[in-house]
Amino acid sequence: MQNRRDHTKQIKSEAARLGFLSCGISKAEFLEEEAPRLERWLQQNMHGEMQYMENHFDKRLDPRLLVDGARSVISLLLNYYPEKKQNDQSYKISKYAYGTDYHFVIKDKLKELLHFIRSEIGEVNGRAFVDSAPVLDKAWAARSGLGWMGKHTNLLTKDVGSFYFIAELIVDLELEYDNPVTDHCGSCTACIDACPTQAIVQPYVVDGSKCISYFTIELKNEIPSGYEDQFDNWMFGCDVCQDVCPWNRFSKSHKEPLFDPKPELLTNSRKDWEELTEDVFADIFRKSAVKRTKFTGLKRNIAYLKNKD
């Protein structure tokens, strides 16, 4: 018991040193409550063309299928809220994609944390996950007491809102487990009322196939007509449901230089974006998550927004 307590303390202390906002730990076991929700969401085709969401159903719900002998899921939050933001009148990208692709930044920190665990505690079998494997990040973070799932299905905390990344280490080490926190959304429906495409079909349920983030990032075909006036100038992702959330009044600027944007991202006008060349795209978004939609995808999104004018 003492060992477990000491190991937990060591891990949380090192996570803070590495710059993580917070660290919570839960027992690696089957996500019983999430199973019917995920099944229902898939059956109703709310994942649209995101076919990968249908894969590895069992692994998404049980971390022991991802790491042999898994005992603990260590959930971590990393703040990405920017100090400076884009011009609201220009075409916009989601704040999480302002700087270097978070996969690279967090993966390096997770590797350091796992190395620390192995050097300080001993031979530990574990894997790092950053939104790139069948892991239900938000469910684990909520279980680990790092926040509650808001009505927009993003994780929320009273201290800093929701502008942060979630990552995990799944390890075969027994640790002290945290308890979930209570829901503090109350009767607020700000996110539901503000969603430009009415993608939040009911509290705690998002139809992914109607979300602007889905249209501008995940959808590989043409964006369906009829949404032109609802895109609110978003050319990559969308932050509306988070921007209107009262808890995000408490968001604090990140301290990670790698998340700082290129100056052009903040100053470009609509005309600049409409005249974007492949070379300029490669320069501005060299190591950015925006590369996921590729130059052709971003040009498609910009053309779609331009059509409404």
Q: Which residues are catalytic?
A: 131
What is d(CA 271, CA 103) in angstroms, rounded to the nearest whole number? Answer: 31
Residue 72 in contact with residue 175, Cβ under 8 Å?
Answer: yes
Residue 291 in contact with residue 285, Cβ under 8 Å?
Answer: yes
Helix (H, G, I), strand (E, B) or coil at 30: coil
Long-range Cβ contacts of 41-49 (<8 Å, 24+ apart): 41/205, 41/208, 44/207, 45/209, 46/205, 46/206, 46/207, 46/208, 46/209, 47/208, 47/209, 48/208, 48/209, 48/214, 48/218, 48/219, 49/209, 49/218, 49/219, 49/220, 49/221
Per the DSSP assignment, residues forming a β-bridge with 129 are 168
Sign of CA dihedral 40, 44, 50, 56: positive
Identify the H or E element spanning 301: helix 294-307
How far from 224 is each of 73, 260, 264, 265, 298, CA to CA, in Å? 39, 33, 29, 27, 16
- DSSP per-residue codes, 225-285: TT-GGGSTTEEE---HHHHT-GGGGG------GGGPPPHHHHH--HHHHHT--HHHHHHHT
Identify the H or E element spanning 156: strand 155-156
